[in-house]
Amino acid sequence: MPWEKDFDVEEAVDLAMGVFKAKGYKATSITDLSHAMKLNKGSIYNAYGSKKALFLRALDKYDREKRRAMLTKLSAMEDPLEAIRLLFTGLVEESMTDQTQSGCLLVNTALDLPNHDEDVQKLVKEAMEDFENFFFHQLEKAVESGALPKSFDMKSTAAALLSYIVSIRVLARGVFDRDGLTTLSNQALKLITP
User: In order of start, what are the domains of the chain with their CATH numbers?
Assistant: 60-190 (1.10.357.10)
Report how far apart the first and last C-alpha atoms of the chain are (Å, whole number). Answer: 67
Q: What is the pLDDT along the chain (194 residues), one digit of tens a residue?
A: 344 456 778 888 999 999 999 999 999 999 999 999 988 888 889 889 999 999 999 999 999 999 999 999 999 999 999 999 999 999 999 999 888 888 899 999 999 999 999 999 999 999 999 999 999 999 999 999 999 999 999 999 999 999 999 999 999 998 899 999 999 999 999 999 97
3-state secondary structure the chain: CCCCCCCCHHHHHHHHHHHHHHHCCCCCCHHHHHHHHCCCHHHHHHHHCCHHHHHHHHHHHHHHHHHHHHHHHHHCCCCHHHHHHHHHHHHHHHHHHCCCCCCCHHHHHHCCHHHCCHHHHHHHHHHHHHHHHHHHHHHHHHHHHCCCCCCCCHHHHHHHHHHHHHHHHHHCCCCCCHHHHHHHHHHHHHCCCC
Q: Are 148 and 139 in contact (CB under 8 A)?
A: yes
Question: Could you tell me the pTM of the whole model?
Answer: 0.89
The pLDDT score that the predictor gives to residue 100 is 82
